[in-house]
A and B are shown apart, each in its own frame.
Chain A
Amino acid sequence: MIETEVRDAATLRVPALAAGRALLVTRYDEEKAVVMNPEDFRRLAALDAALETLREADAPALTALALEAHRLEDEPDHAVEDPAAIKALLGL
């Protein structure tokens, strides 16, 4: 867990930071930047890169069988539009 210290940008002199510490730079209450120990940064960057490799790694592929299911079920049959037939089918 990285401990975060908040400082106003006007007072900022970029210091050396020990591992496990970060400096959050703000201006007018807006967060502008974070200064951190290079080792911590590399660790976070590695974690981020590892997460990136996991994206969509296991998304199920649309198989030929799944596509066939769509072909069978997605297109409507010829619609009944005759009033008498509709009445008979719906019991109206």
Chain B
Amino acid sequence: MSATAALGGSVRWAVVPFTPRPPFRIYAGAEHEPFEISSAEELVEAANRPGGEASFTFLVTAKARPVLILNEPPSAHHREIVALRLLRLAKLPPTDRDAVRNGDDELLLYLPPERFELPEENAAMLSAIVRLHADAIDTTRPAAGTLSEQEQRVLADRVIRYLRFDTQLLVERRLRQLADALEQRGRPA
């Protein structure tokens, strides 16, 4: 990956796994059919038995697809980012497509084709958050498009509200800081 490529706010192609759910399929070598485990409880129970800390290779479906990346990798040694999967508008009936284009649904952020070079018209799904390693993102080609700073703020606000994070302490702290900053500005030099 290019060390200088900015990821946050950009739409890029990446290898994205679907969220695993039962039945779980465990790889058992080339000569054996995968084991199918019907519930999470079975695996949790086994994990709590002696020797249960063993790791298995789970077969998870994934596909190369564009995603909207929300942040930069936190450090050179921890390079996981958070991204949103996209919705192809062609999958929707025409009236719903227009609703997405008009921004009628807060959880679907329209990505206009004139700004985002993708094979189809898309919207970012704020309710489809995925975690990816930076190396799973193709940075050899330019971003398909990038949100403006203001668009990223709007997106962050919606994601926080969708996840129902309790931001009371943050708001209180920021209000105190704002009051201090305004007071500093009001003082004569």
Query: Chain A: residues with CB nearer than 8 A to chain B?
Result: 46-47, 49-51, 53-54, 57-58, 62, 66-67, 70-71, 74, 76-83, 85-87, 89-92
Find out whether the CB atom of A78 lies under 8 angstroms from the CB atom of B75. no
Collect the chain A residues with CB atoms within 8 Å of residue B37's CB: 90
Q: List 10 A-B contacts (CB under 8 A).
A: A47-B178, A50-B182, A57-B177, A81-B29, A81-B56, A83-B35, A86-B56, A89-B49, A89-B54, A90-B42
A78 to B56, CA, bound (A): 8
Find out whether the CB atom of A89 lies under 8 angstroms from the CB atom of B52. yes
A46 to B56, CA, bound (A): 57
B9 to chain A, nearest CB (A): 14
Find out whether the CB atom of B43 lies under 8 angstroms from the CB atom of A90. yes
Find out whether the CB atom of A86 lies under 8 angstroms from the CB atom of B35. yes
- In the complex, the chain A residue whose C-beta lies closest to that of B57 is A79
Residue B21 at the chain A interface, CB threshold 8 Å: no
Where chain B touches its partner, the secondary structure class is: mixed
- In the complex, the chain A residue whose C-beta lies closest to that of B52 is A89
Residue B46 at the chain A interface, CB threshold 8 Å: yes
B76 to chain A, nearest CB (A): 10
Find out whether the CB atom of A81 lies under 8 angstroms from the CB atom of B57. yes
Given A58-B173, A90-B42, A47-B75 contact (CB < 8 Å): no
